[in-house]
Chains A and B, each alone.
Chain A
Amino acid sequence: MFNLILQSLYSGLLSGGYFALIALGLALVFGTMKVINLAHGEMVLLAAYMAYVMESKLGLNPLMAIPLALVVACLVSVTVYFLVSRIGKNRELNSLILTFGIGIILTNAMLIVWSADIHSTAVAAFQEPVALGPLFSMKSELAFFGVSMALVGVLWWWLSRSWYGRALRAVSSNRDAAKLMGINPYRTEIVSFVVAGVLASVAGVALYCTNVIQPALGGSLTTKAFIITVLAGVGSIPGVLIGAVLIGVVEALTVTLFSSALQEFTSMALFLLVLFVLPNGLFGGARRRG
């Protein structure tokens, strides 16, 4: 039993890697534009389907799909930006409904093109077991955990050190002041959407290589990403990372200890609990929401 728990902790940790990528994309966009992109999960799923197309139609390794997924996800992301920025009044709520609509469009487009079937990778090399002491994982899980961590590291460096990263943080903390300092807020917002697209595309390929995909998955990916953002508290990369791992671990533990059907239930319950008890998130500052 102890081994089982340890194993689910380990599996949860590994899946937390790409959860973090999805959540960071969502949080980044929310930070700069105060817009929650409800189509974010669908974007990730679209990238995953690019990997599926690459493998099943062209017979190539799904990893080769990353450039294609990058292009597609970034295009979708930037399109979302342009549509959202066209909203005149009451942007906070209307953007929610708009991106909800975009999510419906994407889900159904995927349904039309690829049907409701479940797909997963057939590349044997990805599924080879790797032992780490008593703990096991698939090769792809471990590899993508590494990739995700590296990407999170790069993102952290980019946000804290690079000019654009600082511009982004400036726009997110005070748009008008940033404008006075010579930052073009529009360009910065586009950049945040592009970066969200990049993160989503890697997360999508990771999703395809380690898991199964189907068109209906998008909504729950968005919810999961949002849960992680709330757990983390807005504006904290380590927080998002810990939140993602926490969700991964909680879900894995639920599957081990109770049943796989309750998997979604526990993370939702945890989410509502945190939202009610600690509305600023586990690692958020004292800033009041809303």
Chain B
Amino acid sequence: MKLRILLPILVVLYGLVPFLFGGNNYIMSILVASLTIAGIALAWALLGNLGGMVSFGHAAFFGVGAYISALLTMKLGVPIFWAMLAGGVGSAIASIAILPALRLSGPYFALAILAYAHIFRVLATEFSGITGGAGGLLGIPVLPTVLGYSFSSKVGGYLVIITIIVIFAFIYDRIRNSYYGFALKAMHESEDATRVVGVHSTMLKAMMLFLSAFMTGVIGAFNSHYINFLEPDYAFNSGWTMLPVVAAIFGGYRTLTGPLVGAVVIYTVDQLFFKNYIPSGHQIILGALLGVMILFSPDGLMPLITKKLRWRRQVKASPSPSQETETI
């Protein structure tokens, strides 16, 4: 992304948003929660877009990262930011268990990882000696004070999660535009043909899986230090899979900004409106949204918007837009 676009965005994210809403704890907490979903949605979309794999198991990576980081800080006193990193690494290591499923194509991978996610919830409940079992972990250390600034407040939490997301988005962008990004893109067209020209496709897919798991794990770790509480049904809740899927599909999982914008919009609207009208079962609207998106605009909303903007610009620029739009 060009600096000309990037700089104003960063100014808004780091300056304007905390300045405008920093005083309002309610708005900030919704924002942080929606950005947590946004982070997972980004990781999910990375796997879906670059790796070509649909995952219904990201709750597992989220939960594993959360538990590892929480336990490291509580039992061993590891500094929190290092523990969060370790949580990500732990999730990536946990994803090794699903590697054999990479041989399976399409639906089989999606369902294998669904089953895989269930396993971790059961494990977290059963190994109660370490994880506290169904009772959960209480009093997980809050985000630390760095250079005199305490990140334990809502605004502090916001700054941490937004930094994580900016870094992840940067990594995603670099990979997408690298040699590996092109190789992965070619794999969508034909995996066999790509293999023939010397791309180790399984290795690349595995790398994307590791990276996606790592990102989700770090987000999970952040969340555990932000809310200071964990239990298996919360950490491995299927909502951590469902919301990001809806967000990514809604925003457009083939774009970088789509999942992020999608998550913030979906989560905010869900919390502010749907939840008020339908207290239990408000996710019915998310399900409907998912269906409508797949049927009418499987590429999501962001590509639709940007296409329209570009088209308009082109109408102004050139007298014959119909030829120009073909080449985009």
Contact = CB atoms under 8 A, between A and B. Distances in A.
A174 interface: no
A98 B293 CA distance: 9
Contact of A96 (B107, B246, B281, B298): B107
A108 B107 contact: no
A81 interface: no
A86 B280 contact: no
B205 to A, nearest CB: 13
Interface in B262-292: 278, 280-284, 286-291
Interface residues of A, number: 47
A290 interface: yes
A275 B106 contact: no
Interface stretch (B83-91, B122-130, B141-149, B220-228): B122-130
B281 A289 contact: no
Contact of B101 (A116, A220, A259, A275): A275
A197 B271 CA distance: 35
A210 to B, nearest CB: 23
B116 A93 contact: no
A276 B21 CA distance: 50
A100 B101 contact: no
A279 B109 CA distance: 12
A262 B121 CA distance: 10
B54 interface: yes
B295 A36 contact: no
Contacts of A102: 287, 291
A88 B108 CA distance: 21
Given A98-B291, A108-B283, A223-B114, A262 B126 contact: yes
A115 B280 CA distance: 8
A111 B115 contact: no
Interface in A39-65: none
Given A104-B290, A219-B238, A275-B108, A112 B295 contact: no
A100 B280 contact: no
A83 interface: yes
A73 B231 CA distance: 36
Contacts of A130: none
Nearest to A271: B115
Contacts of A230: 108, 111
Contact of A105 (B101, B245, B280, B291): B291
B105 interface: yes
B294 interface: yes
A264 B122 CA distance: 8
Contacts of A107: 283, 287
Contact of A101 (B97, B114, B291): B291
A90 interface: yes
Given A97-B245, A290-B106, A111 B281 contact: yes
A107 B123 CA distance: 25
Interface in A74-124: 83, 86-90, 92-94, 96-98, 100-109, 111-112, 115-116
A279 B56 contact: no
Contact of A93 (B107, B282, B283): B107
Nearest to A224: B115
A105 B153 CA distance: 36
B287 A104 contact: yes
Given A105-B284, A108-B281, A108-B287, A100 B56 contact: yes
A116 B291 contact: no
Contacts of B289: 101
A262 B284 contact: no
B112 interface: yes
A102 B291 CA distance: 7
A96 B54 contact: yes
B316 interface: no
A132 B242 CA distance: 45
A108 B277 CA distance: 14
A104 B284 contact: yes
A213 B25 CA distance: 40
A261 interface: yes
A235 to B, nearest CB: 15
A97 B54 contact: yes
14 contacts: A102-B287, A104-B290, A106-B287, A107-B287, A111-B280, A112-B278, A112-B284, A262-B122, A262-B126, A265-B119, A275-B100, A279-B103, A289-B108, A290-B106
A-B pairs, 10 with minimum CB distance:
A104-B287, A290-B105, A101-B290, A108-B284, A105-B287, A112-B281, A108-B281, A111-B281, A276-B100, A101-B291
Interface of A: 36, 83, 86-90, 92-94, 96-98, 100-109, 111-112, 115-116, 219-220, 223, 226-227, 230, 259, 261-262, 264-265, 268-269, 271-272, 275-276, 279, 289-290
Interface of B: 54, 56, 97, 100-101, 103-108, 110-112, 114-116, 118-119, 122-123, 125-126, 238, 242, 245-246, 249, 278, 280-284, 286-291, 294-295, 298
Given A108-B283, A276-B100, 9 more contacts: A36-B107, A90-B298, A98-B294, A101-B291, A112-B280, A116-B280, A272-B115, A276-B101, A290-B104
